Amino acid sequence: MEQQPSTLKDQIGLSSRDLDLLMDLSLKGYRYLNCGHLRLLGYFPEESACKDGITRLLDAGLVMRLFLPIVTQEMASDDVYILSRLGARFLAQTREISPLGLAGPARPSPLFMEHGIKISDFMCSLEAALSGGQETRLVNWKSEFVLKAIRARTVKDSNPWDPSKKLPVIPDGLFSLETNSRVEHYSLEADRGTMGIESIRRKMLAYVALFRQGLHKTAYGLPHFRVLLVTTTPYRQDRFRAALRNIGYCQNMFLFTIWKKVSSETIVTEPIWMKANSQSPVRLLD
């Protein structure tokens, strides 16, 4: 018989930090996290501590372990953890929030998992880069799931070259950075190398349309934004940049880099980002 959240709360005695971890494992957080991610987020000092802490949550049924069957040079094999249905109910009761939209399916598709892990790679590196009393701080994060829920359906914009067609805009996430009383807003696009160049170009056109029509203000409440596209290889990065140059509008809205350059040491402070029309890399906040 499945234990009730109130019983689990008494038995496990989770701390507020444990509850923060469960929230990060939810659809409203980063959803798919491995021990590398959890260490970047500061939950555990080392691998063994992570395994011990996660095992306690696994044994209580609050967390599920998944295995990524796709192993590539970009994606190492590792255990991946998500929030369970019981964990969602426990978290909702303890935090006094709705359990709806906290837990996802127990058997997600491998490609969906891979995409989610790449988003976690980026955001956990960003959080680690901003830890330790940095002047810049993360002030907002909305996952793809939250963005869909806000609008109830996908935001769609008219193609600026063919108004009869609609282009979907579903960011992989939105986040904001605050530094010296200045707030910058970013839309994240995590490319795994599976989408064609034309598909990415259509997505960039949708962002241009969203900006030109001011829908970023009404849909997401943002006064302005930039789009970060992280891809797999320098070749794809250059192809995307060339495709954007042909658009001829809002080129500085987009910044590109590759996954190998993204880490907690580089993501904010190093010039790893390329604009469409420049040959010199820039820093994220330049």
For the entire predicted model, the pTM comes to 0.89
pLDDT at 153: 45
User: Which domains, from first to last, does the chain contain?
Assistant: 5-108 (1.10.10.10), 117-261 (no CATH)
Give dist(CA 131, CA 63) in Å, integer. Answer: 26
In our burial notation (b when 16+ CB lie closer than 10 A, e otherwise), range 233-251 reads eeebbebbbebbeebeebb
Instruction: Measure the N-to-C terminal CA separation of the chain; round to a whole number of Å.
Output: 56
pLDDT at 152: 42
pLDDT at 230: 97
Contacts of residue 117, Cβ cutoff 8 Å, sequence gap at least 6: 32, 34, 68, 75, 80
Question: What are the φ and ψ backbone dihedral angles of 72, each rounded to 5 degrees?
Answer: -130, 180
Ranges of the chain with pLDDT below 50: 1, 152-153
Angle (deg, nearest 10), helices 197-212 and 234-245 = 50
